Copies of this chain bind each other. A is one copy, B any other.
Amino acid sequence: MSSFRLSPPDLRHYARAGLSGDVIAALVVTIMLIPQGMAYAMLAGLPPQAGLYGAILPLILYAVLGSSPALAVGPVAVVALMTAAAAGLVAEIGTPGYQLAALWIALLSGAMMLAMGLLRLGFVANFLSHPVISGFITAAGILIALSQVRHLLGIQTTGKTVPEVIPSIIANLGAVNTITMVLSAAVLGFLFWSRKGLAPVLRRLGLGAGAAGLLAKGGLFLAVLASTLTVWALGLDARGVRILGDIPAGLPPLELPAFDRELITLLLVPSAMIALVGYVESISIAQTLAAKRRQSIDPDRELIALGAANLGAGVTAAMPVTGGLSRSIVNFDAGAQTRAAGALTALMIGGALLALTPLLYFLPSATLAAIIIVAVVSLLDFRALPRAWAYSKADGAAMAATMAVTLTLGVEQGLMAGVGLSLALHLWRTSRPHVAEVGQVPGTGHFRNINRYEVVTTPEVLTLRVDESLYFPNARYLEELVQSRIAERPEIRHLVLMFSAVNEVDASALESLEMLLEKLHAAGASLHLSEVKGPVMDRLQRSDFLKHVDGVHLTQLDAMLALAPGLTQATLDRERYERRKANA
């Protein structure tokens, strides 16, 4: 494991590669981060500076402790939405209690990430399966976009879920502020156009392709500038267009939020979910970008760095943070070489906080809402659901449940439903394992399903390949299945259980195997095992079972050579004969 500091070789490498890539990347990311940070703070129900503060100390801590050179840490949309949902459980938006809750969410989720990293428990994040996280992100994107409609239209709405927000929007359509709506439409139109259309225009203006591509990312900045100037010049704030107002100038305060045991207890579960989602989102981005440059990411170290970043957010009046997709890609494309790019971003944001906040006074909320909507549209992946369903009904069902519950009941419930259903379906599946009757592929030591391959069998020997570990949810299933097969075919003298796919036999299953053995002996049949794996064999040797079973064979071929020697050897010999004939 590499050191957590920038080591001398790192620094020498850095000097050789030059600052230029990192400086340019930091500049582009800063230009995106100022409006995005304020927008995500608004989405989280927090004052705009909470988003900007989230781009200072957290970024520095990640730069010191993290392992990804390209990951851009800071406020992100999904975590902002989850923060709003969790803080909304304990306090009214806009109250000091709400802001306190957001700080404790950052501290708690940070502490959990840190602990998971130090205890090397990063694998816990794997319980958020891919379909669940993908369904969750799409559903969260829809909720986020819906939550911004009120800013686009200049109305008030209530509720957080689809069945609450949509009727609320409809009920308030009469109160739409036309100027706000026109402004929103202009900004949204410009932003969607600028994602594809701005770069070609810049190139036609004589810029190089690379520079044009990067400058096009400044579309956000242009939208902010133009809409702010418009509101200021035309005095639109007096005509009902909501504006940002005062942002305190200067660097964030450094202070531990007030301790409140009851608040903290209520926030434990939501903070754990925010930690998990934030980590999974961030590590996926970091690994994808690392793979492109053949670098590698240390998951436990990432947890520690993200944990520290969130603890940093919690003590500097900032919102919870994690690695964000859009800024990380921009960071990567703009040539960020080392984590210093993140630290430089933090410095630039700090500079902006010292100098630029008065200029943001007239920035309309509608512009920030438009920025959020453009950002989350890239999160929506509606094709993922039919794709997952086509591959596996269980994965599709888990994704559908996650989406449906997230949209109708909320983010926390949606995640819980997805994880719960994934686990339940896994348990249900393993409780009724696939069991194949197998026979010898002629002339080989290989045994396959009699229903799929042309194989050799004999009526006296029944060989079943059990395609699952034997453990308590399926312990009795095999017993009952074997009993019914034996009852149907009284000619069976030997049962061979082929254990090539059995990775565990727990105490309940052992009990069941012992019952099975007794029943087989009572029916005058014998029980053999074949291809038992080392770890399973070690376990069985601690019990009496192996003393009573009629035979344990290294390979299924050995078992068949013992139980039906004539037949099995014959197919081997015939095959060899035919091969020799073919060679002759």
Contacts and interface: CB of A to CB of B under 8 A. Distances in A.
Given A296-B483, A471-B426, A515-B291, A506 B126 contact: no
Contact of A506 (B392, B446, B468, B511): B392
Interface string A510-539: 110001001100100000000001110001
B429 A504 contact: yes
Contact of A507 (B126, B392, B427, B542): B392
A573 B508 CA distance: 45
A500 interface: yes
Given A472-B127, A472-B129, A503-B468, A434 B522 contact: no
A97 to B, nearest CB: 32
A442 B458 CA distance: 28
A475 B394 contact: no
Contacts of A390: 542
A390 B543 CA distance: 9
A507 B123 contact: no
A80 B475 CA distance: 28
Contacts of A430: 469
Given A444-B445, A471-B426, A452 B534 contact: yes
A535 to B, nearest CB: 5
Contact of A294 (B123, B392, B445, B522): B522
Interface in A467-485: 467-469, 471-477, 480, 483
A472 B503 contact: no
A131 interface: yes
Given A388-B507, A391-B543, A126 B426 contact: no
A446 B469 CA distance: 21
Contacts of A432: 123
A436 interface: yes
A130 B445 contact: no
Nearest to A480: B299
A255 to B, nearest CB: 38
Given A445-B446, A507-B395, A130 B501 contact: no
A127 B427 contact: yes
Contacts of A127: 427, 431, 472-473
Interface string A367-391: 0000000000000000000001011
Kindly report how many copies of this chain are found in the complex they form together: 2
Contacts of A452: 534
Interface string A391-431: 11011000000000000000000000000001100110111
Contacts of A535: 434, 467
Nearest to A436: B534
Given A126-B475, A508-B131, A539-B391, A467 B533 contact: yes
B475 A130 contact: yes
Among A296, A449, A504, A542, residue most surrounded by chain B Cβ atoms (within 10 Å): A504
A515 B287 CA distance: 10
Contact of A557 (B431, B436, B446, B474): B446
A503 B433 contact: yes
A168 interface: no
A555 B446 CA distance: 7
Contacts of A446: 445, 554-555, 557
A123 B431 CA distance: 8
Rank and list the top 10 A-B pairs by shortest CB-CB distance, nearest first. Answer: A129-B472, A130-B508, A395-B507, A445-B445, A467-B503, A129-B508, A500-B500, A501-B501, A446-B555, A452-B534
6 contacts: A127-B427, A433-B503, A446-B557, A448-B554, A449-B534, A468-B503
Interface of A: 123, 126-132, 287, 291, 294, 296, 299, 388, 390-392, 394-395, 422-423, 426-427, 429-434, 436, 441, 444-446, 448-449, 452, 467-469, 471-477, 480, 483, 500-504, 506-508, 510-511, 515, 518-519, 522, 533-535, 539, 542-543, 554-555, 557
Given A130-B511, A388-B507, 10 more contacts: A126-B431, A130-B472, A291-B518, A391-B543, A394-B506, A395-B506, A395-B507, A426-B471, A445-B557, A468-B503
